[in-house]
């Protein structure tokens, strides 16, 4: 399957904001956005003209897609599912993205980034309700149990990631046992609770795909 293999910080520079793709690095002085490095590519000034409505919507979609480490086809399929759900499409889209298994592993602090969480799932280190699941896009249901395998529990990267739990805890729709490395999805994520997406305007994404 096709996937982006280039520098992660390049994506943040392209969007002009932190996408939190590199774990601890994103919170340090080494972050490219913190250093105010310019966007990648040549002829930067010619590309900084006033954007059209379509251009603004496209950039918002790209930002959201990159935050969740998804390719275009997969992101569009998720949107189509959200459009068929009752309620606001934007809220449903974020709920579906947040309930992805790789995102939940990241939110539970088992991984320092969504990319690392995706790798853990693909390598068979994650179990849902006692069953090994290797599909990062797997949709969790309320009260599903997520835990790491015995080998994963001993990984230094996991222990380092769990330090973030002691600093800031987990999202309000989740519950975690940091000693057993077991977590639960206790509620459907609500838009207002996803505070790190406060700058994302999901309505622009809805307008883009609704054309």
Architecture category of domain 100-187 in CATH: Roll (3.10)
Distance CA 57, CA 173 (A): 29
Sorted by where each begins, the domain ranges of the chain are: 8-97+197-209, 100-187
Pick the range with the lowest mean pLDDT from 46-50, 54-58, 122-126.
46-50
146-175 pLDDT tens trace = 999 999 999 999 999 898 888 888 999 999
CB burial of 156-195 (b: ≥16 within 10 Å; e: otherwise) equals eebeebbeeeeeeebbebbbbeeeebbbbbeebbebeebe
Domain 8-97+197-209 sits in CATH at 1.10.1050.10
CB neighbours of residue 79 within 10 Å: 24
53-85 pLDDT tens trace = 888 899 899 989 989 989 999 999 999 999 999
């Amino acid at each position: 399957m096709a996937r982006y293999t280039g520098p992660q910080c390049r994506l943040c520079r392209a969007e002009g904001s932190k996408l939190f793709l590199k774990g601890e690095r994103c919170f340090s002085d080494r972050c490219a956005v913190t250093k105010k490095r310019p966007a990648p590519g040549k002829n930067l000034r010619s590309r900084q003209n006033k954007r059209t409505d379509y251009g603004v919507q496209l950039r918002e979609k790209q930002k959201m897609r990159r935050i969740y480490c998804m390719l275009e086809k997969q992101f569009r399929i998720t949107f189509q599912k959200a459009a068929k759900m009752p309620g606001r499409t934007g809220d449903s889209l974020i709920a579906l993205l947040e309930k992805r298994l790789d995102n939940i592993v990241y939110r539970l602090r088992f991984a320092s980034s969504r990319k690392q969480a995706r790798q853990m799932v693909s390598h068979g280190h994650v179990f849902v309700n006692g069953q090994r699941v290797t599909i990062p896009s797997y949709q969790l249901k309320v009260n599903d149990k997520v835990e790491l395998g015995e080998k994963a529990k001993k990984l230094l990267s996991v222990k380092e990631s769990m330090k973030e739990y002691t600093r800031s805890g987990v999202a309000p729709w989740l519950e975690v046992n940091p000693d057993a490395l077991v977590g639960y999805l206790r509620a459907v994520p609500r838009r207002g609770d996803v505070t790190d997406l406060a700058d994302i305007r999901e309505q622009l994404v809805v307008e883009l795909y609704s054309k």
